[in-house]
Amino acid sequence: MTEPTDITSIAPRDKAEILAQALPYIRKYHGKTMVIKYGGNAMTDPALQQDFAEDVVLLKLVGINPVVVHGGGPQIETLLKRLGKQGQFIQGMRVTDPETMEVVEWVLAGEVQQDIVGLINQAGGKAVGLTGRDGAMIRARKLRMADQKDPTLEHDVGQVGDIVSIDPSVVQALQDDQFIPVVSPIGFGEQNESYNINADVVAAKLATVLQAEKLLMLTNIRGVLDKDMQLLTELTPRRIDELVEDGTISGGMIPKIAGALDAAKSGVNAVHIIDGRVPHALLLEVLGNEPFGTMIRSH
């Protein structure tokens, strides 16, 4: 991999050429909404955090409306360990008892969200943190999780939620006021109880209800890889089924791909799984013409 070029060493004429090449994409996406699932290394490496914040602010400044949905699995795990509590998983899903739910809310809606809001504001944007409770945005119910081997069995994973509905009006109001919404994947139920929801699922559903132009999912891999570790630049529903069947797509990648496919089928024009370990990954995808990561197609 070649070392990134220092921007100060690029001649002014070349800088102008780079900006000119981005112009058609700026024009194409002006006024459009993009939902960005932020997670993985991009979220924990300080240099990549800064790149991400700068990318989001630049997109906003050129007239694109970014909406950030974030996870926080590693940070939740760290705090649980500090409290002497062992995280438990069933079929890749975190079992969320009432005590764990308190930790999830404290980490996601507190520490992680405020870090992201601060980074974006420091980069010159105006970010606002939201959870699913704000503006009654994400209504949820208890997730009923069938056993993968025996569908007649159900696992109780506690306060893990399934989305009932999303009301995007609070997000749209913020966008119209030049703010950048940063959403924590926490929903609420009929009895005002809190639910921990998979961030990939929230991002996909929010992209659908906002009729987003793009859904961009930052991950710790180059995209979806085949058995030979080669990048698959495009995936169709049939190909996804084959890859799940033979175990190529497994574990935490399953809800990510399922959410991406749902969004693509529901009218989100482009769904991309991209490598968040690459500096300025967002700008490379949105304002570049090279294929980057894996695109999910609806058919």
Annotated binding site for substrate: 72-73, 94, 196
In a domain? residue 91:
yes
Of 74, 55, 77, the residue nearest 66 (C-alpha): 55
User: Quick check: 271 and 296 in contact, CB under 8 A?
Assistant: yes
In a domain? residue 13:
no
- Number of helices and strands in the chain (H, E): 11, 18
In a domain? residue 4:
no
Q: What is the mean pLDDT of residues 120-139?
A: 97
E strands, the chain, in order:
33-38, 65-70, 89-90, 93-94, 127-130, 138-142, 145-146, 154-155, 161-166, 180-183, 186-188, 194-196, 214-219, 224-225, 231-232, 234-235, 270-275, 294-296
In a domain? residue 58:
yes
Q: Which residues contact 156 (CB under 8 A, 6 or more apart)?
A: none
Q: Which range has highest mean pLDDT (21-25, 148-152, 192-196)? A: 192-196
In a domain? residue 121:
yes
In a domain? residue 62:
yes
The residue whose two tokens read 């509905």 is 165
Of 155, 137, 153, 136, the residue nearest 145 (C-alpha): 155
* CATH code for the domain of 200: 3.40.1160.10
Domain that holds residue 57: 28-101+110-296
User: Quick check: 155 and 145 in contact, CB under 8 A?
Assistant: yes
| Share above pLDDT 90 across residues of the chain, in percent, rounded to a whole number | 55
Q: Which pLDDT tens digit goes with each residue over 36-94?
A: 999 877 888 899 999 999 999 999 999 999 999 999 988 998 999 999 998 788 877 78
Which one-letter amino acid corresponds to residue 135?
A: G
Domain count, the chain: 1
Is pLDDT at 1 greater than 50 in this prediction? no
In a domain? residue 136:
yes
Q: What is the pLDDT of residue 52?
A: 95
In a domain? residue 5:
no
Cα separation values, 293 from 31, 159, 227, Å = 24, 33, 16
Burial class (CB in 10 A: 0-12, 13-18, 19+), 239: middle
Q: Which pLDDT tens digit goes with each residue over 18-35?
A: 788 889 999 999 999 999
Q: Which pLDDT tens digit goes with each residue over 241-296?
A: 888 888 888 777 787 888 888 888 888 988 999 999 999 999 988 987 776 888 88
pTM: 0.90
The CA distance from 188 to 210, in Å, is 20
Quote the crossing angle between the two packed helices 73-82 and 98-105, to the nearest 10°: 120
The CA distance from 88 to 97, in Å, is 10
**110 or 15: which carries more pLDDT confidence?**
110
Is pLDDT at 125 greater than 90 in this prediction? yes
Q: What is the mean pLDDT of residues 114-124?
A: 97
Annotated binding site: 72-73, 94, 196
Burial class (CB in 10 A: 0-12, 13-18, 19+), 204: buried
